[in-house]
Structure 1
């Protein structure tokens, strides 16, 4: 009898812990996801052509990023960051395989959205310019082949308790929730005059268990990921300059 009561109590504690984890995950708009470049680096294989194509030979400098930062990153240790007060933001590029499921029209919408989000957030801390010059760093950003969410099934997998538990179980096994979209981005910062590489990074985000945007819009998770990076990039550049960020 005592063992039966004890087992029920333990089961209740486990259920409460799982419920807390589920509720916590529900607050996350996007979650970290390992890009293929990070997997290649771990296995010692070649980096994806999209990475080497965009970053060039400097892609070989990439290493695992810091906790809470990009999946892969490299920062030039010799840069005097305080000397850079202006940014030349280049048009966001879209890199995809020839058989990409992302239409040309959607590629244009995604890259334009990302560019505008970056422009809005960068302008809060830096002066944006359209020409190279002293004290100007050039920011190049590329969006990789994004994937869509499945809005209806996504909603069910988050709202229905049993489906929510199964979705959480899948995420523990695969590092990704069911029916979510994702996006991968690469960025590099160069001296606008000399072309010297100042920093580079590769990151990937997937949809979380929240319902913001993705429940009704197939590109909602990709949009949330771009919003995340559009805030993260200016904050990181400000930190490198020794500025306090929120």
Structure 2
């Protein structure tokens, strides 16, 4: 008599190594009362300039983990403002991973006290960072006006993981004929009803509005629900 074949349906997602470390990081952030923001964008969109503006105006008390293929220039830029910043150089890797962040946290602690906010400035790329959970409370995507207003549907994966979108270099909207309405329309096609900010390093009020949003999310103990 033949033994009947049994089929077992696996309903639970098997966590990858990165996902497991990301879960561990969430616990570390909560224990240290640190609200973590993962900044993602293409190269040159203005992530570091945004952080410089926040530091210059003393709008938030924050630390930074920087990610680049080479050099520690971004960490040095923020260090001039007294920001505790640690640089990760990834070599050829086009993204940061949770284990890198866990290691960098130790270095940040050695350099000074962790602040109530921590920004992770991810490697400039609109593709790879969208696949790696860093345990952040908020995932924010920057889109600069010189890049054009058509990127949301061209690179949907990274915008699908965003809890908010920042249009940076907003003072150049007219120069580049950048249509904010196009970005809003494309986000709606992705069914992303998320906050959209127009920021300019030359407009302090825009930075203040953005930081009020971050403070509100921290008070709410917000944790991103996106599954990478």
Q: TM-score, normalising length from structure 1?
A: 0.26
Could you say which structure has the larger radius of gyration? 1
Q: Which structure has more helix as a fraction of its residues?
A: 1
Q: TM-score, normalising length from structure 2?
A: 0.27
**Bigger relative CO (Cα 8 Å, ≥ 6 apart):** 1
